[in-house]
Amino acid sequence: MPEQPYEPERAIAGTGMGGTMDLGASEAVTLDRTPGGPAGPGPADRPRSLWSDAWRDLRRNPVFLVSGLIIVFLVFISLWPSAITSGSPFTCDLAKAQDGAQPGHPFGYDGQGCDVYTRTVYGARTSVTVGLCATLGVALTGSVLGGLAGWFGGPWDSVLSRITDVFFAIPVVLGGLVLLSVVTTNTVWPVVGFMVLLGWPQISRIARGSVITVKQNDYVQAARALGASDARILLRHIAPNAVAPVIVVATIALGTYISLEATLSYLGVGLKPPSISWGIDISAASPYLRNAPHALLWPSGALAVTVLAFIMLGDAVRDALDPKLR
Amino acid sequence: MAAGVEPILEVCGLVKHYPLTRGVLIRKQVGAVKAVDGVDFSLGKGETLGIVGESGCGKSTVAKLLVRLERPTAGAVKYKGEDITVLSGRARKEVSRNIQMVFQDPYTSLNPRMTVGDIIGEPFEIHPGAAPKGDRRRRVRELLDVVGLNPEYINRYPHQFSGGQRQRIGIARGLALRPEVIVADEPVSALDVSVQAQVINLLDRLQSEFDLSYVFIAHDLSVVRHISDRVAVMYLGRIVETGRDTEIYDHPTHPYTQALLSAVPVPDPGARERRERIILTGDVPSPTNVPSGCRFRTRCWKAQERCAREVPLLAVPEAFRGTSGPAAHASACHFAEEAAPVPGKGSGPGRHGAPDPAPEKGNGPG
């Protein structure tokens, strides 16, 4: 009834609530408040949502700020490594092999006499690309497939669960050796693809379980009783409530993918020199651990800080998306 | 609140069977849970129909069938004469504007990640025709006001409210589209007794304000009595007795209703000693394997051979057919007879009214 305003009911409502006069007054107050209100931005002026509240919360969270800064910095040096380095990662001098820190070369030299600082900065691009892309791919594929299996249930769920079982049965290292040994291009994409292929079942299982738990809640039934479409229920009710475990597992997995890239490179099926990655440098430095620990320490440290930053970011985002923790 | 002339909601032969299957690849139906097995009732405009029964008798399934959360196996739910169970798409959505539900558990019926404004405003987003976009926030504030919550709470999250307040939010959501029928599935059973009274009174007040019709489902007989004009007693997927509240509460003729009423606590110790409690033996039979004939015969002290052969119809029993007294209401029993649940006292109305959890009608919520 668009042409019929709400006022008559309000008037009746007033008789039960302590008089129409009061309600009229409260309405006037409401109108007064809209342009600005006496107390600045009043609590009820602007419509708020989960995402805007989460963002407000995150901006004041030191954990988020620190991890966000680290990640922004990592992305920056991945895009423009030359901004903070002057040398080339390929200028190596065997005479300086395994030397320690020197002026202008704060991280020292590795086994081939290359500057560790330059190589660590240049290695960020590969490692961050592999970590981010593999995690995004795994999280998207896994949560969409797992979420749909959990949502639709029945035969879809059975088929998908058996497929995830099959993928779980593939050993990662052996699978990598077999699948990646046939790849000839020396880019990160086959590695990323391999990680998505073997990684999605993990997220898919978590997303499936999470969606099954959430869809039993009465608010899903309530939305359905209101006539909400499946898409609306999935996006507004299921997804925000089912996403927390996916975020946690995905951010932890991000570190695993960066290390897995290192493992695969070490086995010779990942990236091959002259590509630069932390994984390659870590594996190259491990034989000289006693003589030149710094060559191992710096790329591993960078890897650890990166992984930690992403895990902290994931935790902060998960907490911000849970209104109960505010 | 007299019963309206024109029924707004009519339920005819409603059946819901959940199939039991066996087998992994080739699924074979080996039986069915007969949750609802032939339910008929009608609801007049502005009327409240209370449905009572113990756990597992199919009350909640009836509620879900009414708001189309489940598809019936057979039977029809007619809203203003139109069968809504066969509708789909746009027509179904249109009907959902007029029949809304209030849920039992206020802790799971509100999305914890939505603000109260979003929860109550969602009906307007699903039905954009119900309110123009710029007007929705104002409507949500009004709804909060109507259910007795501070409109300033619009940006809060459900976990910041108590159980009773949450149930008010759920009621506001149900009211948003200005429905004509509200199906309340045990709306107060998860709340404290004092809060129950407030919520019941709120529902009572809203009924007269918005001219609502209620289907009020509960297992608490006193709560149902307080709010209902008519009462239907369910047992194992069927209505066994139905009538006006005084007819059911003061003149029950079905043995099951009599047993239920005898279990209601009596606040007066004297009356409590004098009354005869009917203790039913055995458990409710499994809804997968319903007894032949009368469903209640396995636990009934009056059961005879006829009860196993003939299904008793829900009609005014022969013994009372000629009379016009309060016992002359529909009761599905071959041997229906009036038995005062509390013997030794006259049968005046309200005598063995159960402890009334709610204060006087008409009091505003606290």
* CB-based contact, A227 to chain B, within 8 Å: yes
Q: DSSP assignment of B134-152, as one string?
A: GGHHHHHHHHHHHTT--GG
Nearest-by-CA chain A residue for B365: A17
| Residue A322 Cα distances to A55, A153, A171, B122, angstroms | 12, 27, 36, 20
Does position A324 have pLDDT exceeding 90, yes or no?
no
Please answer yes or no on whether A50 and B113 come within 8 Å at the CB atom: yes
Beta strand B99-102 pairing with B181-185? parallel
**β partners of residue B50:** B216, B231
State residue A26's pLDDT score: 36
Nearest-by-CA chain B residue for A159: B25
Domain range list for chain B:
7-20+33-234, 253-331
Q: Which of B115, B126, B142 sits opposite A10 (nearest CB)?
A: B142
Query: Higher-confidence residue: B140 or B328?
Result: B140
Does position B218 have pLDDT exceeding 80, yes or no?
yes
Within 10 Å of residue A212's Cβ, how many Cβ atoms?
Answer: 17
Which alpha helices (H) appear in chain B, and where do they start and end? 59-66, 89-96, 116-126, 136-146, 163-175, 193-210, 221-227, 245-250, 255-262, 269-274, 305-309
Q: What H or E segment, with its residue span, contains residue B39? A: strand B28-44
* Mean pLDDT, rounded, for B6-18: 91
Q: How far apart are the CA of A144 and the nearest CA of chain B, in angstroms?
A: 20
Does position A256 have pLDDT exceeding 90, yes or no?
no
Q: Which of A9, A43, A240 sits opposite B113 (nearest CB)?
A: A240
Under the banding of pLDDT at 50, 70 and 90, the label for residue B51 is: very high
Share of chain A above pLDDT 90, in %: 30
Does position B11 have pLDDT exceeding 90, yes or no?
yes
Which residues from chain A sit within 8 angstroms of residue B117, using beta carbons? 47-48
Nearest-by-CA chain A residue for B64: A225
Under the banding of pLDDT at 50, 70 and 90, the label for residue B102 is: very high
Q: Which of A49, A50, A224 sits opposite B69 (nearest CB)?
A: A224
pLDDT tens for each residue of A162-182: 999 999 888 888 888 888 888
Q: Which of A91-100, B240-249, B284-293 has the lowest mean pLDDT?
A: A91-100
Please answer yes or no on whether B155 and A240 come within 8 Å at the CB atom: no
| Residue A316 Cα distances to A63, A154, B232, B242, angstroms | 7, 35, 52, 57
Does position A326 have pLDDT exceeding 80, yes or no?
no
Please answer yes or no on whether A240 and B142 come within 8 Å at the CB atom: no
Share of chain B above pLDDT 70, in %: 91
Q: What is the ipTM of this complex?
A: 0.82
Nearest-by-CA chain B residue for A243: B113
Which residues from chain A sit within 8 angstroms of residue B365, using beta carbons? none
Query: Higher-confidence residue: A89 or B231?
Result: B231
Q: Report the mean per-residue pLDDT for chain B.
A: 85
Share of chain A above pLDDT 70, in %: 86
Q: How far apart are the CA of B143 and the nearest CA of chain A, in angstroms?
A: 9
Which residues from chain B sit within 8 angstroms of residue A231, using beta carbons? none
pTM of this structure: 0.79
Query: Higher-confidence residue: A20 or B67?
Result: B67
Please answer yes or no on whether B178 and A1 come within 8 Å at the CB atom: yes
Under the banding of pLDDT at 50, 70 and 90, the label for residue B5 is: low
Crossing angle between the packed helical segments A293-320 and A116-152, to the nearest 10 degrees: 30
Please answer yes or no on whether A241 and B113 come within 8 Å at the CB atom: yes
Under the banding of pLDDT at 50, 70 and 90, the label for residue A36 is: very low
Q: Which of B97, B123, B152 sits opposite A44 (nearest CB)?
A: B152
* CB-based contact, A213 to chain B, within 8 Å: no
Please answer yes or no on whether B157 and A324 come within 8 Å at the CB atom: yes
Does position A6 have pLDDT exceeding 60, yes or no?
no
Which residues from chain A sit within 8 angstroms of residue B209, using beta carbons? 9, 12-13, 16
C-beta pairs of B333-337 under 8 Å, 24+ apart in sequence: B333/B240, B333/B241, B333/B253, B333/B254, B333/B255, B333/B294, B333/B296, B333/B302, B334/B294, B334/B304, B334/B306, B334/B307, B334/B310, B335/B255, B335/B302, B335/B304, B336/B253, B336/B254, B337/B253
Under the banding of pLDDT at 50, 70 and 90, the label for residue A12 is: very low
Which residues from chain B sit within 8 angstroms of residue A43, using beta carbons? 152, 155
In which residue are the tokens 């194992």 written?
A: B236
Under the banding of pLDDT at 50, 70 and 90, the label for residue A143 is: very high
* Mean pLDDT, rounded, for B14-31: 83
Is residue A168 within 8 A of residue A106, CB to CB? The reply is no
Q: Which of B100, B112, B210 sits opposite A225 (nearest CB)?
A: B100
Q: Which of A10, A18, A219 sits opposite B111 (nearest CB)?
A: A219
Does position B42 have pLDDT exceeding 60, yes or no?
yes
* Mean pLDDT, rounded, for A23-41: 35
Nearest-by-CA chain B residue for A216: B108
Nearest-by-CA chain A residue for B179: A226
Nearest-by-CA chain B residue for A34: B138
Share of chain B above pLDDT 90, in %: 46
State residue A264's pLDDT score: 86
Please answer yes or no on whether A47 and B117 come within 8 Å at the CB atom: yes
Neighbouring residues of A240: CB distance < 8 A, sequence distance ≥ 6: A50, A321, B111, B113
Best to test chain B binding among A162, A226, A230, A317 (most B CBs inside 10 Å) = A226
Please answer yes or no on whether A44 and B154 come within 8 Å at the CB atom: yes
* Mean pLDDT, rounded, for B218-224: 88
Q: How far apart are the CA of B96 and the nearest CA of chain A, in angstroms?
A: 6
Residue closest to B151 by CA, chosen among A4, A27, A145, A20: A27
* Mean pLDDT, rounded, for B101-118: 92
Residue A310, token pair as written in the block: 């992403």
Is residue B185 within 8 A of residue B63, CB to CB? The reply is yes
State residue B340's pLDDT score: 55
Query: Higher-confidence residue: B104 or A44?
Result: B104
Under the banding of pLDDT at 50, 70 and 90, the label for residue A31 is: very low
Q: How far apart are the CA of B120 and the nearest CA of chain A, in angstroms?
A: 11
Domain range list for chain A:
1-46, 52-325
Q: Report the mean per-residue pLDDT for chain A.
A: 81
Is residue B213 within 8 A of residue B9, CB to CB? The reply is yes
Nearest-by-CA chain B residue for A48: B155
Q: How many CB pairs under 8 A join A and B?
A: 120
CATH number of B7-20+33-234: 3.40.50.300
Does position B25 have pLDDT exceeding 90, yes or no?
no
Under the banding of pLDDT at 50, 70 and 90, the label for residue A212 is: very high
CATH T-level assignment (fold) for domain A52-325: MetI-like fold (1.10.3720)
